[in-house]
Structure 1
Amino acid sequence: MGTKLVNPPGLYDGAPVGMSQAKVDLASGFVFVSGQVDWDRESRVRHATLAGQAEGAIEHLATVLKEADASLEDVLQLRVYVRGELADGMSQIVPVLARHFAAVRPALTGIGVASLASRDTLIEIEALAKLPEHP
């Protein structure tokens, strides 16, 4: 059956670096979403706070999933990468994640990292989802 590339027009264009915002495996219905950050189309961070960037990354995640014919409710797994010590950011991240995923309760891994895609990027969220109408 093959695969389908997902690249919503309002998000960062990954073509120059050889990536897509997501790739759908048409046989299984799995949607593999690249790490989403709080960037505008010109790769500039939109919010200064960790909570603001988490909201922005989830907003982009929802946009990518919609383009793939899925939604946040279809997320099976999240990986959340946070610049610095993960424990230091939990009080800002947990309310944002709970607001968007409390009913879904995906598998979740949080990882503290030394750096992300830009110096101003504080959080990156990647996901695995499954198309809702796929067996």
Structure 2
Amino acid sequence: MTDHLRQSGLTLINPPGLYDPAPNGYSHVALLPPGARIAFIAGQGGETADGRLSAIFCEQVRQAMHNLCTAIAAVGGTPQQIAKLTVLIVNHSEARLQVFGEELERALGPGPKPACTLIPVPRLALEGMLFEVEAVVLLEEG
């Protein structure tokens, strides 16, 4: 078993018998300590604070990751405290997966990534929206 300890007692695990998901930017299991304080961050899209939405996929992903980090900071957390991501991609492809992986690395930095589920979808909530990400975050006690 490969364990990666992170701050706040979050443990990311890739058990033997499962393939190594690290090249795809996630871990198989996120283990939270007993009594953990968690935040659920709603799906964040690529809209800017004034509601603009780029038509370019990579710009939407970068803005959505920025929005996610802003929401996490608002509850006193950091991107390194993300336990679980759910990602929705319109017209998913290997190229779009690569863009997401690059932006995830940019937002979270090097090291193990959280547990993650990617769901290809035909459409999202807003016209022209191509990407959405939600998170479960382990917060410091306080």
Aligned residue for 1:58? 65
Sequence identity, in percent? 24
Structure with higher Rg: it is 2
Alignment size in residue pairs: 107
2:104 counterpart (97, 100, 116): 97
1:109 counterpart (117, 124, 136): 117
CA RMSD of aligned residues (A): 2.0
Deviation for aligned residue 1:49 = 1.6
Q: Which has the higher contact order (CA 8 A, sep 6+)?
A: 2
CA distance in 2, matches of 1:99, 1:41: 20
1:77/1:69 Cα in 2 relative to 1: closer, same or farther (>3 Å)? same
Is 1:78 paired with 2:93? no
SS in 2 for 1:125: strand
In 1, are the aligned partners of 2:66 and 2:107 still within 8 Å (CA)?
no
SS in 1 for 2:98: helix
CA distance in 2, matches of 1:52, 1:65: 20
In 2, are the aligned partners of 1:75 and 1:104 still within 8 Å (CA)?
no
SS in 2 for 1:80: strand
In 2, are the aligned partners of 1:73 and 1:104 still within 8 Å (CA)?
no
Q: Residues 104-125 of structure 1: CA distance to partner in whole angstroms, max 9, x if unpaired? A: 5101111100110112110000
Q: What residue ranges of structure 1 are gaps of 5+ in the alignment?
A: 1-26
CA distance in 1, matches of 2:81, 2:112: 8
In 2, are the aligned partners of 1:50 and 1:93 still within 8 Å (CA)?
no
CA distance in 1, matches of 2:132, 2:55: 14
Aligned residue for 1:17? none
> Normalized against structure 2, the TM-score is what?
0.67
Q: Spell out the pairing of 1:1-135 with structure 2 (5 A cutoff).
A: 28-45=36-53, 47-101=54-108, 102-131=110-139, 133-134=140-141
